[in-house]
A and B are shown apart, each in its own frame.
Chain A
């Protein structure tokens, strides 16, 4: 092992350790030092930026830790940067408008960090059991985060998410137990080499359905609308951008174990049903957060379509995730600026926004157009790469379904823009000016535009990262 690799390994491992330390600091320090109360958010944000400096451009190698449980490679470095970016955005939004009541602020940041560490372990997991533990470390804090306000909508969201999420975990772990009985080892490499057997197929299907719950593929999406609507908006943004990304990466690892066969057939149906039903259900929504929830389900379907492109498809997935995250966090941030009290804003509440807040309306339109896939925004290129990979591998039928449904989705995304620009505002709308939130929103809008117009640097990164799985 050269010094380069040692340096890389030490830096990489210190990223989750740093977050864990900061999580404990946020939880415990304010209990002992009264002056630190209320500063947990700043500590948290500082830590995330400190951790970002530890993520190294990896040397082209894959290092395995803890006898293969964690695999560090350019892929994990890319995804960890993504996770830290999402954490930084969510924490900044929570600084502007606290998601948690004052007395549980420390717990809020503790839970956010624990979920972040779980996500990092999940995307770097080298075997299925590690992936399961990481999944639990990601999910358990998010269940609690959804209900952290202890209000009626929050608790309802939390319990629905908990029950279905834990049900999915139960299926996953039973699937892993079956695979464990059939195959000698659970690492992805060993599973790939294993001979297919009927019992193993049952195990794989259970594992895939468990992770499909997290990724919110139809028919495993029932919790999504309620959880997104009832949870604090910052937490909904985290669920949409980060939790889904973790599920997608593991699903890809499972998908790539097979070369066709029944498992790919199942993925075909999951992708097609998700793209069709999520978009149709989104048409009828009146709440902004519910609309974004169904949009998040639909995008999970597009990501599953991208799987069929093989290696190229995975590159597209890696490009898709940050692009989708920027647009969806941005849209949730707009919802956060507009919301009054517990309930998220309705789409009608956006009426006249172009008059009152022209820049905010412009940024929101950028997010909507990007989610809809209008060129030259990043969302268009993400969909283009995702679908073209699948076409090249001969899955034209699936892509046609996805493109038609993507055209349907244009209706509800544009509806938001139309309401902002064409409808006069009704009633009293004295939203408090929140400078930092708007700064975040404009940053994300710029990101959505730039990642589309100048997509080359990001694409080079994803091409490099995608080679490692």
Chain B
């Protein structure tokens, strides 16, 4: 595996995650795609950067976990208030 393969993997992963995020309607799935986007960046940090930039990947793990925490908390609150997790069904505000 050369660096080119690794670059190809992380770009593919990032594009798939972006496309998935934009097309999916379920909040849980959207959150999963967000995490995939961060993972693609993580692969890029580890595989393409200098050894020092692997520290960035470690920090990014923590950030991804915090983001998932806030996201899941929001999803739980939404599920109990709106009784649905489809983004299309949550439209109290106009716009």
Contact = CB atoms under 8 A, between A and B. Distances in A.
Partners in one complex: yes
Interface of A: 129, 133, 136, 140, 143-144, 147, 150-153, 155-159, 162-163, 166-167, 169-171, 173-174, 176-178, 180-181, 184, 225-226, 229-230, 290
Nearest to A165: B67
A421 B62 CA distance: 53
Closest 4 CB pairs of A and B: A170-B37, A177-B44, A181-B48, A177-B41
A144 B66 CA distance: 12
Contacts of A166: 34, 67, 71
B93 A153 contact: yes
Nearest to B37: A170
A153 B77 CA distance: 12
Contacts, number: 108
B59 to A, nearest CB: 7
Interface of B: 7, 10, 14, 17-18, 21, 27, 30, 34, 37-38, 40-42, 44-45, 48-50, 53, 56, 59-60, 63, 66-67, 70-71, 73-75, 77-78, 81-82, 87, 90-93, 95
B81 A150 contact: yes
A157 B34 contact: no
Between B44, B50, B82, the greatest number of chain A beta carbons within 10 A of the residue's beta carbon is seen for B44
Nearest to A230: B93
Nearest to B91: A156
Contacts of A230: 92-93
A243 B91 CA distance: 25
A184 B53 CA distance: 10
Given A157-B93, A181-B48, A173 B41 contact: yes
Given A143-B74, A167-B21, A176 B41 contact: yes
Contact of B40 (A151, A159, A174): A174
27 contacts: A129-B59, A133-B59, A136-B67, A140-B66, A140-B67, A147-B74, A152-B81, A152-B92, A158-B74, A159-B75, A163-B34, A166-B67, A166-B71, A167-B37, A170-B18, A170-B34, A173-B37, A173-B41, A176-B41, A176-B56, A177-B42, A177-B48, A178-B44, A180-B48, A181-B44, A226-B95, A290-B95
Contacts of B40: 174, 177
Nearest to B55: A129
B37 A129 contact: no
B93 A229 contact: yes
A170 B19 CA distance: 13
Contact of A144 (B34, B41, B70, B87): B70
B59 A173 contact: no
Contacts of B73: 144
A397 B12 CA distance: 39
Nearest to A166: B34
Most chain B Cβ neighbours within 10 Å, of A136, A170, A230? A170
B81 A155 contact: yes
A226 B93 contact: yes
Contacts of B71: 162, 166
A176 B82 CA distance: 37
Contacts of A226: 93, 95
A171 B38 CA distance: 9
B20 to A, nearest CB: 11
